[in-house]
Structure 1
């Protein structure tokens, strides 16, 4: 089982698209709202060098942005 965490904000259209994509694939995920947890932004910056959302962590691997193809490749390994 892959642990999927999506880091998002309330105003991010790509975050909505990403969450909808994961739901359509019947993939369970945990959502962390960066606006509600400002300290998380530093974690993202440390992990990926980027502040933008969405960012997705799958078993310690990071995918920056809305990138369904890469997400599916990571999940198939």
Structure 2
């Protein structure tokens, strides 16, 4: 099973949308809430190079934020990633 991690907060509308999309896809993911554990924010920044939420990782690949993930879905490229394909 592919490891999916999302850094986010409760109040961020893009985080809510990202969770909905992942839930709709039936993806099993780790929701890393930096509002509950602020120490994880530095980890997110180090891994992604970005300061905004959400930041989504599928496997070791940084997907980006919600808009990036939604674009992958529109291009029919998200489902293969969620299955662990095309992670090169």
**If the length of structure 2 is used for normalisation, what is the TM-score?**
0.77
Work out the CA distance in 2 between the residues paired with 1:7 and 1:48. 10
Report the Cα offset of residue 74 of structure 1. 3.1
Work out the CA distance in 2 between the residues paired with 1:36 and 1:21. 22
Work out the CA distance in 2 between the residues paired with 1:63 and 1:40. 18
Q: How does 1:48-67 map to 2 (within 5 A)?
A: 48-66=48-66, 67=69
Which consecutive unaligned segments of at least 5 residues does structure 2 have?
Answer: none
| Structure-1 residue corresponding to 2:2 | 2
What SS does the aligned partner of 1:32 have? strand
Work out the CA distance in 1 between the residues paired with 2:49 and 2:6. 16
Report the Cα offset of residue 46 of structure 1. 1.0
Total equivalences in the alignment: 77
Which consecutive unaligned segments of at least 5 residues does structure 1 have?
Answer: none
| Structure-1 residue corresponding to 2:12 | 12
Work out the CA distance in 2 between the residues paired with 1:16 and 1:5. 14
**If the length of structure 1 is used for normalisation, what is the TM-score?**
0.86
| Structure-2 residue corresponding to 1:42 | 42
| Structure-2 residue corresponding to 1:74 | 81
